């Protein structure tokens, strides 16, 4: 026979008295509330109708009372279950350790809260979010337990689905060969993948996302804000990252997309506030860049070897002309003497000398006609950092095999000059090769070459210094004269390198000097006028 809740509570005076202790006004008094119901009756009706499954048990979990919601959730009416143990609800899938913890907690007079797998009367499993509180009698001993539970099967499914989706997303982004990271509007990393984590240690630049964001901000300027506001995204932004501890530089390509998510915190509950995130992908394109660089170097080498061939023909012919000039001058002098003597006897000799001179001049003219022009290219805005970078790559093998330590100090954002890339490459190649020669003699202790660029309001400056023996003061002006060399003659170098270098500098309205104040070797200072349009843009 089902007992009414009121009957039940009246019978269990210990419980009523406990409640009375906590709220004497409600449970101790007799005043009627609303339709004449006492607070006591009101309480009982509330428990009966509250939309949460409530059961009251004795100390051994024998069920003494269940409310309507309990019957709805479990499928058991009170007559089916009163007097039975709560374990009737157990699906036997809940690990023993959970029950152990449950009982250990409630027997210590504490409230237990957790999730269990329960079985509905029909056999259907459901997840119960259960709270069990012990009820104490006047002596402070446990007299009963009150259990309250909700069916959270659907909530649990939704939670699990979210977790599964997160795991799926994580496994997809982790399997990507590209480094990926999600950043919030405070530039905080929210999500990343294995490849991104690898970058943290590989690059040694702190948080890689912060490092690349800085580079992107610098490069994109106002465009960044425009794209961010329109959520347009960007791609193929390439950056070179210098290698740490002597390792080679690496190249990365960045792409990004902004997206918005609804805020989840309570403040935004009625506001529908959104938060913006950036998904940034960072692709290592070092291999592709190196291949391109190698191709570029191969092309440069081909062009340079053609230039070199032309240069050596010019040098040989100019050398030959120079050599012929000396006997020709002597012949001219002899001719003048004979003419002066006006001696009939030497008329034949004079004629021969004049013939020799004529054929000599013809030979010189022929040779002069044969001197090939250095391959001309159009004058365009040129960045000397790029030219010097190419030249260093071209001489890489010689630098390395001679154990030369190169310090490359380019000025960031160097203004352009107007010039011919090929000629400028030839010029700096010549100066670099001279510097390598200078530091490569066996008795040179320190093999160091320093190359740098700078700029002022009118000029772009380049300096190339080496720790070789230097050029003595009295020879400094002569080294720019044809066929002057500080090296023994007869080798491949005939003393025309600096002549050609000066010629190229002059063609670019620049200057080339040997720094008189540099005493630790040799330092060439070269300057070129800034390209006017670049000047205008900078101003």
Write down the least CB distance from residue 211 to ligand FAD, Å.
54
Q: Which of 66, 82, 132, 504 binds ligand FAD (CB under 6 A)?
A: 132
* Residue among 101 and 513 whose Cβ is closer to ligand FAD: 101
> Are 378 and 420 within 8 A, CB to CB?
yes
* Residue among 60 and 340 whose Cβ is closer to ligand FAD: 60
- Rounded to the nearest 10°, the torsion over CA 464, 469, 470, 475 is -140
Closest CA to 8 of 54, 71, 51: 54
Closest CA to 282 of 233, 232, 209, 224: 209
Query: Of the ranges 124-132, 359-367, 414-422, 513-521, which one interacts with ligand FAD (CB under 6 A)?
Result: 124-132
* Residue among 92 and 340 whose Cβ is closer to ligand FAD: 92
Mask: binding to ligand FAD, 201-240, rule CB under 6 A, as x and -? ----------------------------------------
* Residue among 65 and 234 whose Cβ is closer to ligand FAD: 65
Write down the least CB distance from residue 86 to ligand FAD, Å.
3
Residue 408 interacts with ligand FAD (CB under 6 A)? no
> Are 78 and 57 within 8 A, CB to CB?
no
Alpha carbon distance 71, 48 (integer Å): 11
Phi, psi (degrees; rounded to nearest 5) at 281: -110, 140
Chain centre distance of CA 125:
50
CA max distance for the chain:
166
Mask: binding to ligand FAD, 141-180, rule CB under 6 A, as x and -? ----x-x-x-------------------------------
**Nearby residues of 469 by Cβ (< 8 Å), 6 or more positions away:** 438, 441, 444, 521, 522
Q: Which of 1, 25, 30, 60 binds ligand FAD (CB under 6 A)?
A: 60
Q: Which of 54, 64, 66, 128 binds ligand FAD (CB under 6 A)?
A: 128
Site for ligand FAD in 243-272 (CB under 6 A): none
Q: Which of 15, 19, 66, 130 binds ligand FAD (CB under 6 A)?
A: 130
* Residue among 60 and 265 whose Cβ is closer to ligand FAD: 60
**Nearby residues of 73 by Cβ (< 8 Å), 6 or more positions away:** 53, 120, 126, 128, 149, 150, 151
Query: Of the ranges 54-62, 218-226, 463-471, 509-517, which one interacts with ligand FAD (CB under 6 A)?
Result: 54-62
* Residue among 118 and 281 whose Cβ is closer to ligand FAD: 118
> Are 512 and 501 within 8 A, CB to CB?
yes
Residue 61 interacts with ligand FAD (CB under 6 A)? yes
* Residue among 38 and 156 whose Cβ is closer to ligand FAD: 156
Q: For residue 239, count CB atoms less than 10 angstroms from its CB and return exposed for 0-12, middle for 13-18, buried for 19 or more.
A: middle
- Write out the DSSP string of 283-309: EE-HHHHHHHHHHHHHHHHHHHHHHHH
Closest CA to 449 of 405, 418, 482: 405
Count of all residues that appear for the chain in the document: 539
Q: Which residues pair with 182 in a beta bridge?
A: 191, 279
Mask: binding to ligand FAD, 70-99, rule CB under 6 A, as x and -? ---------------xxx-xx-x-x----x
Q: Which of 103, 259, 269, 400 binds ligand FAD (CB under 6 A)?
A: 103
Query: Of the ranges 52-60, 166-174, 427-435, 465-473, which one interacts with ligand FAD (CB under 6 A)?
Result: 52-60
Residue 284 interacts with ligand FAD (CB under 6 A)? no
Sequence-ordered strand ranges (E) for 430-498: 448-455, 459-466
Radius of gyration of the chain (CA): 47
Residue 118 interacts with ligand FAD (CB under 6 A)? yes
425: helix, strand or coil: helix
Q: Which of 57, 416, 422, 467 binds ligand FAD (CB under 6 A)?
A: 57
Write down the least CB distance from residue 146 to ligand FAD, Å.
6
**What does each C-alpha distance from 191 to 158, 161, 166, 181, 262 come to in angstroms?**
21, 18, 10, 6, 17
Binding interface with ligand FAD (CB under 6 A): 55, 57, 60-61, 85-87, 89-90, 92, 94, 99-100, 103, 107, 116, 118, 128, 130, 132, 145, 147, 149
């Amino acid at each position: 026979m089902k007992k009414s809740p009121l009957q039940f509570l009246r019978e269990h005076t210990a419980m009523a008295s406990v409640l009375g202790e906590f709220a004497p006004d409600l449970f101790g008094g007799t005043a009627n509330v609303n339709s004449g119901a006492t607070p006591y009756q009101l309480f009982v009706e509330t428990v009966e109708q509250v939309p949460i499954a409530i059961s009251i048990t004795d100390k051994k979990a024998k069920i003494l009372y269940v409310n309507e919601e309990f019957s709805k959730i479990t499928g058991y009416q009170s007559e089916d279950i009163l007097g039975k143990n709560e374990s009737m609800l157990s699906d036997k899938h809940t690990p023993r350790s959970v029950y152990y913890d449950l009982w250990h907690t409630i027997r210590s007079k504490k409230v237990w809260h957790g999730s269990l797998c329960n079985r509905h009367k029909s056999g259907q499993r459901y997840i119960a979010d259960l709270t069990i509180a012990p009820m104490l009698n006047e002596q402070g001993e446990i007299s009963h337990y009150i259990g309250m539970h909700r069916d959270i099967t659907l909530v649990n499914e939704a939670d699990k689905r979210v977790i599964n989706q997160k795991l799926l997303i994580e496994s997809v982004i982790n399997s990507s060969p590209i480094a990926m990271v999600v950043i919030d509007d405070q530039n905080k990393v929210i999500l990343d993948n294995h490849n991104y984590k690898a970058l943290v240690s590989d690059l040694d630049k702190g948080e890689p996302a912060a490092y690349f964001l800085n580079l992107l901000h610098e490069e994109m300027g106002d465009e960044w804000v425009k794209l961010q506001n329109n959520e347009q995204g960007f791609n193929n932004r390439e950056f070179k990252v210098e290698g740490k501890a002597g390792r080679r530089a690496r190249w990365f390509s960045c792409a990004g997309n902004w997206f918005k998510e609804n805020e989840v915190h309570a403040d935004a509950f009625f506001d529908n506030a959104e938060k913006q995130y950036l998904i940034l992908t960072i692709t290592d394109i070092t291999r592709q860049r190196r291949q391109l660089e190698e191709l570029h170097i191969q092309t440069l080498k081909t062009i340079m070897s053609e230039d070199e061939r032309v240069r050596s023909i010019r040098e040989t012919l100019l050398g030959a002309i120079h050599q012929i000039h000396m006997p020709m001058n002597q012949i001219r002098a002899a001719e003048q003497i004979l003419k002066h003597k006006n001696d009939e006897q030497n008329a034949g000799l004079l004629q021969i000398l004049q013939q020799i001179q004529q054929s000599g001049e013809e030979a010189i003219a022929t040779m002069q006609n044969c001197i090939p022009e250095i391959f001309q290219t159009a004058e365009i805005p040129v960045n000397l950092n790029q030219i010097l970078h190419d030249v260093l790559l071209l001489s890489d093998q010689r630098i390395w095999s001679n154990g030369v330590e190169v310090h490359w100090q380019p000025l960031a954002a160097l203004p352009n000059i107007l010039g011919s890339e090929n000629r400028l490459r030839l010029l700096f190649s010549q100066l670099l090769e001279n510097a390598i020669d200078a530091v490569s003699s066996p008795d040179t202790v320190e093999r160091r070459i320093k190359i740098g660029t700078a700029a002022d309001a009118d000029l772009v400056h380049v300096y190339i210094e080496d720790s070789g023996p230097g050029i003595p003061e009295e020879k400094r002006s002569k080294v720019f004269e044809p066929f002057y060399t500080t090296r023994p003659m007869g080798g491949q170098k005939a003393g025309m390198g600096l002549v050609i270098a000066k010629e190229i500098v002059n063609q670019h309205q620049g200057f080339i000097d040997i720094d008189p104040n540099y005493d630790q070797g040799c330092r060439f200072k070269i300057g070129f006028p800034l390209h006017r349009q670049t000047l205008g843009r900078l101003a």
